[in-house]
Amino acid sequence: MQLVFATNNRHKLEEVEAKLQGEIKLLTLNDIGCYDDIEETGTTFKANASIKSQHIYQKYNMNCFGDDSGLEIDALNGEPGVYSARYAGEHGNHAANIKKVLDNLKDAPNRKARFRTVISLIWNGEEHFFDGTVEGTIRTAPSGTDGFGYDPIFEPDGYNVTFAEMSMGEKNSISHRAKAMEQLLAFLSNT
């Protein structure tokens, strides 16, 4: 069984491949010759995930999935949310995004947050959604060097380390993306 993952994000690919453990042959956009810049114009994770998977399915007619993920912070009314990757302006500037979050939370007593992932799977022409969430808090300063994005400031509930201080295996056992992928794998195992 093979499945296209509609992303060029190397970190996401590594996490998903580790979760799949060879059960499914994962194809990247490069593998299928897709070099399109798929714009995330949705206002929800679900909409953006769907945009990616629909684009691939309509153009290549291949079973595929896309995801959208982000950080939701209670004290910031759910920000950065769908704008997580470009919260400070430039897309993918992790240091600037982290700085903006920490600046915006400077005196906030409530630092509760969650990472959320929504996956849109198009399987034999039908779209299915899977949602994963991990609750936690935002640290006052970055800690750790692994992971990507907001991992250095996100401490999942029940742990005293950030995602960036965990191995990929540890993070993949509890992360939002891992939870959504587990649902996707359970669905595929029943098809």
- 68, 74, 103, 131: the catalytic one is 68
CA distance linking residue 152 with residue 165, whole number of Å: 7
Contact between residue 112 and residue 42 where contact means Cβ atoms under 8 Å apart = no
CA distances (Å), 89 to each of 65, 80, 85, 97, 98, in order? 27, 11, 9, 8, 12
146 belongs to the catalytic site: no
171 SS3 class:
helix
Q: Which of 95, 86, 90 lies closest to 151 in space, CA to CA?
A: 95
Return the active site residues: 68
